[in-house]
Chain A
Amino acid sequence: MSTAIELKAVTKNFGNTEIIRGVDLAIPRGERHAVIGPNGAGKSTLFNLISGRYPLSGGDILLNGESVSGLKPFEINRRGLSRSFQITNIFQRMSVFENVRCAVLWSLGYKYSFWHRLGGLKDANLRAEEVMESIGLKARRDTSAGVLSYAEQRALEIGITIAGGAEVILLDEPTAGMSRTETADAVELIRKVSQGKTLIMVEHDMGVVFDLADKISVLVYGEVIASDKPQNIRGNKAVQEAYLGTEAH
């Protein structure tokens, strides 16, 4: 199986503080990969490095075999990587439909067009309708995103992330702040929308992680201390000591 994303000795410093300390990780295409670790381990920072939000201090990141280090977020997105955020990051003043349609425009080649009428873009509109249906927000089509419930906003966040058809999807704590029922719905949604794609996920809810992930990497103090299948991670003593304790059993 070819590698979708590969991190080679990735480091990140903020001033004199080392946040990410030489992370090596290779994630094959089509794998659902979870990154777990205690608070402050550097999980979100790692996501920000992969998606181009922060520049690397050292090392290299390859997306489908090509280096994306030093590229801007939009350039990385155009190469097939899309991400969601820990804190909901949507277009609050736009409707649900407009949010999703904005996310499909570039991938369908409309780019900076000011000669196409949005209403006439059948492919973009159809794709937006399909994504809304897949995330369960069809009934909220014309509702302003800012007034959606928290769970609906999280679903929309996922919708925006997948709408462009990226092959590599990064989800940053997709179920954070959700109730049990909402979390169960979110897990099903993630399972559905990540079908056939490479999914990398930061998540604190171990139930979600062990339910969804094909493989788990454990990040502690900016270093990957273990990267293995879920059942092996459960039994890994170093992981238990550093993070899981007895809760994961």
Chain B
Amino acid sequence: MSKLRYRPINLGRWLVWGITALVMIVLPLIFTSGFTLTIMSQIGVGIIFALSYNMLLGQGGMLSFGHAVYSGLGAYFTVHALNLISKGTFYFPVTLAPIIGGVAGAFFGVIFGYVTTKKSGTTFAMISLGIGEMVFACSLMFSDFFGGEAGIATNRVMGSNVLGITYGPAIQVYYLIIGWALVCMAAMYAWTQTPLGRMANAVRDNPERAEFVGYDTHMVRFLTLVLSGFFAGIAGGLSSINYEIVTAENLGALASGSVLIATFVGGAGYFFGPIIGIIVFFVMVTAVGGITQAWLFYLGLLFLIMVLYAPGGFASLILMHVPVIKARLMRRLWLPYAAAAITGVVLLAGLVSVVEMTYHYSAEADTNPGMALFGLAFNVTSYTPWAVAAGLLVGGFIVSRFAWKAVGKAWGEIILGLQERRA
């Protein structure tokens, strides 16, 4: 007779969740500017949205090109609900208003999901793209509900003041978002530890086998999508409270593409991957976007590099080091990593120089040939900056190849060492 293994409380897991919650709560006390608060609020909403997307992509193996449909429709329903609440048509606390978005997301998950989840793989991806485009077209056709190009605006400050909470100040909205984000993160993580969550993995990995252990793969995918739509709808609802406006962009292909990129870059195969991805994404949008107009190019480049060299995303890059750290073998990697970092900086400097100079040359060379980069001012029409940039790019590429070979060699030796220890 087998005995069940006794598993004590997973302290590590509680610690990770506790630290995450603490960081989210404390961050606005450290970064007090309004701009940072806005970014952090966006990240909070983005985390829910990306994790809901990863229920499809990472957990269920469903590559969706139209996930913003559920968050967008959730946002529209929330914004209409907020307007009705403010008119006194019915009473509903603003704090709980995102649940309206969640219900709307789940409802449309039922409607669209039944069709899209009949098939998996490419067929699912194509149908999701079609539904995304269809709903986006509807948003411009039915302006009574969607508000046309201007969208639908609302005012989140309404009703009586409860315990001083009006949602007027941005900090109150931030904590509303963080509260919901923590609840949704916990709920979505809990889902991965349920029979449906595990069977979503099974259907992703081997749908045929899943059918032969009694599961209707269509139903598993369908229920996963409905739940994913629910959480996406909550994200949409929070977004509408945060911005006080919803436009067709909220459910368009750009929003669907952004969450796909963020999730993939972070690591779809890991629960926390999309969280990393969404942070990286917003850093690219705000920090890089604040410096250069070519930020989308850099984001695309990052996506390309991740697809080619780290398909498991940043999460896999982090986790691959865990056994090395446990075996106390990191010291073998520091030197090759330092070399790779230095040569990488040279390569990046060359690449950024070429991109920025080309961009400036094509846009302003006739009227304003002068430009500044890395604190250096120069004339973009002269040869010297181009020669330096090309030198950095080519030189950086060549030395980077040597550095990465050293990294590869060090990893090869480490893997061999780990295998020998196991044996």
Leading 7 A-B pairs by shortest Cβ distance: A106-B214, A129-B2, A114-B196, A110-B195, A73-B211, A103-B213, A77-B214
Shortest C-beta distance, A52 to chain B (Å), equals 9
Query: By the criterion CB–CB under 8 Å, are A118 and B194 in contact?
Result: yes
- Flag whether A150 is at the interface (Cβ < 8 A): no
- Flag whether A112 is at the interface (Cβ < 8 A): yes
- Flag whether B190 is at the interface (Cβ < 8 A): yes
Query: By the criterion CB–CB under 8 Å, are A160 and B213 in contact?
Result: yes
Number of A residues with CB within 8 Å of any CB on chain B: 43
- Flag whether B216 is at the interface (Cβ < 8 A): yes
Task: Give the contacting residue for A102; candidates B1, B4, B202; CB below 8 A.
Answer: B202
Query: By the criterion CB–CB under 8 Å, are A105 and B195 in contact?
Result: yes
Q: Can you offer 16 A-B residue contacts whose CB atoms are under 8 A?
A: A74-B217, A82-B212, A92-B206, A103-B213, A105-B199, A106-B213, A114-B195, A114-B196, A114-B197, A116-B195, A119-B7, A119-B193, A122-B4, A125-B4, A129-B2, A129-B3
Give the residues from 186 to 215 in chain B that come closer than 8 angstroms, CB to CB, to chain A: 190-191, 193-199, 201-202, 205-206, 208-215
Give the residues from 75 to 134 in chain A that come closer than 8 angstroms, CB to CB, to chain B: 77-78, 82-83, 89-94, 98, 101-103, 105-107, 110-119, 121-122, 125-126, 129-130, 132-133
- Flag whether A237 is at the interface (Cβ < 8 A): no
- Flag whether B220 is at the interface (Cβ < 8 A): yes
- Flag whether B185 is at the interface (Cβ < 8 A): no
The docked-state distance in angstroms from the alpha carbon of A27 to that of B191 is: 42
Query: By the criterion CB–CB under 8 Å, are B215 and A106 in contact?
Result: yes
The docked-state distance in angstroms from the alpha carbon of A114 to that of B190 is: 9
- Flag whether A72 is at the interface (Cβ < 8 A): yes
A126-B4 contact, Cβ under 8 Å, with A91-B202, A92-B205:
yes
Where the two chains meet, the residues of B that have a C-beta atom closer than 8 Å to any C-beta of A are 1-5, 7, 190-191, 193-199, 201-202, 205-206, 208-217, 219-220, 223, 227
- Flag whether A164 is at the interface (Cβ < 8 A): yes
Query: By the criterion CB–CB under 8 Å, are B212 and A113 in contact?
Result: no
- Flag whether A51 is at the interface (Cβ < 8 A): yes
Contact partners of A163 in chain B: CB under 8 A: 213
Contact partners of A92 in chain B: CB under 8 A: 205-206
The docked-state distance in angstroms from the alpha carbon of A185 to that of B4 is: 26
Contact partners of A89 in chain B: CB under 8 A: 206, 208-209, 212
The docked-state distance in angstroms from the alpha carbon of A104 to that of B327 is: 37
Query: By the criterion CB–CB under 8 Å, are B206 and A112 in contact?
Result: no
Query: By the criterion CB–CB under 8 Å, are A111 and B205 in contact?
Result: no
Task: Give the contacting residue for A74; candidates B1, B7, B214; CB below 8 A.
Answer: B214
The majority secondary structure among interface residues of chain B is helix
Query: By the criterion CB–CB under 8 Å, are B213 and A113 in contact?
Result: no
Q: A102-B198, A112-B219 are in contact. List 8 more A-B contacts (CB 8 A).
A: A90-B206, A101-B198, A102-B213, A103-B213, A105-B199, A110-B195, A114-B191, A129-B3
Contact partners of B193 in chain A: CB under 8 A: 117-119
The docked-state distance in angstroms from the alpha carbon of A113 to that of B195 is: 6
Query: By the criterion CB–CB under 8 Å, are A51 and B212 in contact?
Result: yes
Contact partners of B212 in chain A: CB under 8 A: 51, 73-74, 77, 82-83, 89
Query: By the criterion CB–CB under 8 Å, are B214 and A164 in contact?
Result: yes
B204 to A, closest residue via Cβ: A93
Task: Give the contacting residue for A118; candidates B1, B198, B219, B223; CB below 8 A.
Answer: B198
Shortest C-beta distance, A53 to chain B (Å), equals 8
Query: By the criterion CB–CB under 8 Å, are B190 and A117 in contact?
Result: yes
Task: Give the contacting residue for B194; candidates A77, A82, A114; CB below 8 A.
Answer: A114
Contact partners of B202 in chain A: CB under 8 A: 91, 94, 102
The docked-state distance in angstroms from the alpha carbon of A94 to that of B59 is: 12
Query: By the criterion CB–CB under 8 Å, are A112 and B205 in contact?
Result: no
Contact partners of B190 in chain A: CB under 8 A: 117
B208 to A, closest residue via Cβ: A89
A108 to B, closest residue via Cβ: B195
Contact partners of B220 in chain A: CB under 8 A: 112
Task: Give the contacting residue for B223; candidates A90, A93, A112; CB below 8 A.
Answer: A112
Query: By the criterion CB–CB under 8 Å, are A77 and B196 in contact?
Result: no
Contact partners of B199 in chain A: CB under 8 A: 102, 105, 112
A102-B210 contact, Cβ under 8 Å, with A92-B205, A112-B219:
yes
Contact partners of A117 in chain B: CB under 8 A: 190, 193-194
Contact partners of A107 in chain B: CB under 8 A: 214
Query: By the criterion CB–CB under 8 Å, are A91 and B191 in contact?
Result: no
